[in-house]
Structure 1
Amino acid sequence: MSQTVTPELRAWIVAQATAGFAPDAVLRAMVEAGWTEAVALDALEHTLSEHLAQRAPAQPVSQPPRRRASAPADGAASFAPALPQPDLRGAPRLLDAGDREVAVLASLRRPQLVVFGNLLAPEECEALVAAARPRMSRSLTVETQTGGEALNADRTSQGMFFRRGETELIARIEARIARLLHWPVSHGEGLQVLQYRPGAEYKPHYDYFDPREPGTAKITQRGGQRVATLVIYLNEPVRGGGTTFPDVGLEVAPQRGNAVFFAYDRPHPATQTLHGGAPVLEGEKWVATKWLREREFT
């Protein structure tokens, strides 16, 4: 049964925030009262954001729960988000990524998702594929039971990782991503390149590490949780191969040089970041994936 956010509920949320209750405590109270966590979190974000816009700057009120970054990206002093994200204030059509202007093609509030155009030039896509091709092997997934890596029947691609800053091309792309998303290069994993041949896919999954699994503590020692994902399309399969988001009924078609970005403020399905790589039906698909962490990734 669907739940409706009523004016009475919004008034109650504002009253709790004004009284000094932390957003996490308000969220917990709503869940205990029977609200689903996704609805409760969305109500908190929208209500407090609207309320803040109506208040004078000298009248603070508790913000919705967000992670805090350990440091902002270089050059991001005027816009230091709690999660990696582009600056979409003012509804820009183009964003400054340092050495390149990147187009904003589409965006969602929940999940926090943006489709970018022109993130990579065609020759950069070709160079990444050429550099990665000799090093490809069957893709592994992080194994949260043990903290290691393992083959996964849900993932049938070939892949490899570049070390952070391994080549001039990799360093240039990483600096561009850091400026675009306002997140330090040091807080990113190495760029992974994946190849999907006909029939290959990656079934829907989450990119964060499940905190309930025994191996997660070991995995997060190297930089904390993952908090965002950027998937860059390096070519265009003839048919299939889109990036799907089942919770919101969205599929992003692969277009060379474009990318889809999504962030998740905590490791929970309420972020609605369930996603997958649809099967390639004809041709092949090449993508580069960048995962961003809470802290410096070592």
Structure 2
Amino acid sequence: MFPSFFGLTRTTLNCGMSLLRKLITRFLLNAVVVWRAAVKTAYDGRLFAGSQRQPDLPTVEGEIIETLKELKAIRNEKSSRFKAASRTDRGVSALGNVFAFDTEFRKSELLRAMNSVARNLYFYAVAETPIDFSPRRAKARWYRYWLPNFGFDIDLMMKCALLFEGKHDFRQFCRYDGRSTKRTISKIAVSACGNYIAIDFIARDFLWNMVRKIMSAMTMVASGRATIEDIKRGLNGEFVDFGIAPAENLILMDVSYDISFQVERPMTLVRKITQGKTDAFLKSFFFDHLDKVSGLSLNGYL
């Protein structure tokens, strides 16, 4: 017979241990777990006054923060350590900007919930990151500029692209904000796409307005309004006014890291994509038909 321990039998001890295990399991299941989320986000920049928060203006960060607050996924941006990978100006769109924040929200439900609340934002991938993850520390950023081809010399544009690749002082090709203006561009690729030209820029990071100012310089050379020598002078530190290209043609395509994102397509996202594609089709049909009935073919100009 099993000896008693403070008057307890084996059966009583086993029952007590079983109950304790159940209580511990229940506690662990219900315990609040804080994790750091990184969410890939797309948006039409024409609908926002830029990505960075501004009082009384519609911004990307502002809408994301209000979405997370409404879902009770965060209390505020400070306590959640909310950060963005890239700041985009008014009019600049994104297909792969990344926003990170600390949350207790269930990971499996996060994208569905965020897409159900945010009207003009599209959340399609999520990653659970190390707690010290900062989206600013990216491996690379990829921007694409779509340029209507008004007879530009593409070969000349490609020669311009080669001048900007590598490490340079881009003081004459940015809006100076006090930071060092030395940057390294890994690649600038120029591709003809029907009536448009796609120019892809890849670098670890870019200066303020850097892509748009480089783009303006390239189009000026490709249209005969400036020379390659002018670009060389600018890269050597001489003042050359190349202007700045429109923001609406620029898209932040992706930001890459050494972490794996899980892509999801909840119905809340699918419905928004379907509506957006329908709106785009109807708008394209409208202008294509107007092009025909007006007797003015844009194909002669594009």
Q: TM-score range by the shorter chain?
A: under 0.3
Taking structure 1 as the reference length, what is the TM-score of the superposition?
Answer: 0.26
Greater radius of gyration (CA): 2
Taking structure 2 as the reference length, what is the TM-score of the superposition?
Answer: 0.25
More helix by share: 2
